[in-house]
Structure 1
């Protein structure tokens, strides 16, 4: 351990960390290129070639030229994912879009029937409509 002092370990770890950050940034940009639906195929191919052949310059130019769009696409994707998750939760929980489940609606119908606000025929019709 005397051949490799603590400062050299620190510098090695720093360079390794920066290399990992660089790879994350590169993959983020490549996925953003493919995710952008406004860009045509030739533009995507051009950006990919630029980023692969001249990686440091290509990534720097991409971030400068299209960084704001990257953020907007990320926000849009996050909102779509959140909406899909909420729809899945609603469907799995068995609730209607208004937030009330079939059991809640059926309980309300029974309460209305017990109070006399609904006749037996109206209750059966509403129950059939609710359960189908």
Structure 2
């Protein structure tokens, strides 16, 4: 243990951790920038290609330029996409969820089916018991 600390001093360890954190932060920004860029419908294919080449050939400068020139509305676009996704999910859930059915509405439906002759008295009583059960 003492030998390992002598071969790799504490400041070297801190420097390694800082460099590692820097790489993680850069990759995170790269994914944020490219994700935002490719999801934007208002940017042409040529502009997307140009930004991609810039970010790949001059990575730090490309990401910095994108964030300075296009980043002002980056948060708004993310929030709008999240809101649209939430709305689509809510609409889907409403479309597949059964209508709010209370015991009274189920009994009324069973009564209607009984009066139309679709079910008999025994089925009506069974449905009524199910509707009244907790």
TM-score by length of 1: 0.70
Greater gyration radius:
2
In 2: Cα distance, 1:105 partner to 1:60 partner: 61
1:62-101 matches, within 5 Å, as 62-95=66-99, 101=100
Alignment correspondent of 1:107: 105
Unpaired runs of at least 5, structure 1: 96-100, 115-119, 125-132
In 2: Cα distance, 1:105 partner to 1:40 partner: 56
Change (3 A) 1:80 1:93: same
Higher relative contact order (CA 8 A, sep 6+): 2
Is 2:42 aligned against 1:33?
no
Change (3 A) 1:88 1:6: farther
Alignment correspondent of 1:56: 60
In 1: Cα distance, 2:108 partner to 2:37 partner: 56
Unpaired runs of at least 5, structure 2: 117-134
Is 2:2 aligned against 1:4?
no
Instruction: Please report how far the alpha carbon of residue 108 of structure 1 lies from its aligned counterpart in structure 2 after TM superposition.
Output: 8.0
In 2: Cα distance, 1:3 partner to 1:92 partner: 64
In 2: Cα distance, 1:88 partner to 1:57 partner: 42
Instruction: Please report how far the alpha carbon of residue 88 of structure 1 lies from its aligned counterpart in structure 2 after TM superposition.
Output: 3.3
Instruction: Please report how far the alpha carbon of residue 94 of structure 1 lies from its aligned counterpart in structure 2 after TM superposition.
Output: 2.3
Moved more, 5-14 or 48-57: 5-14
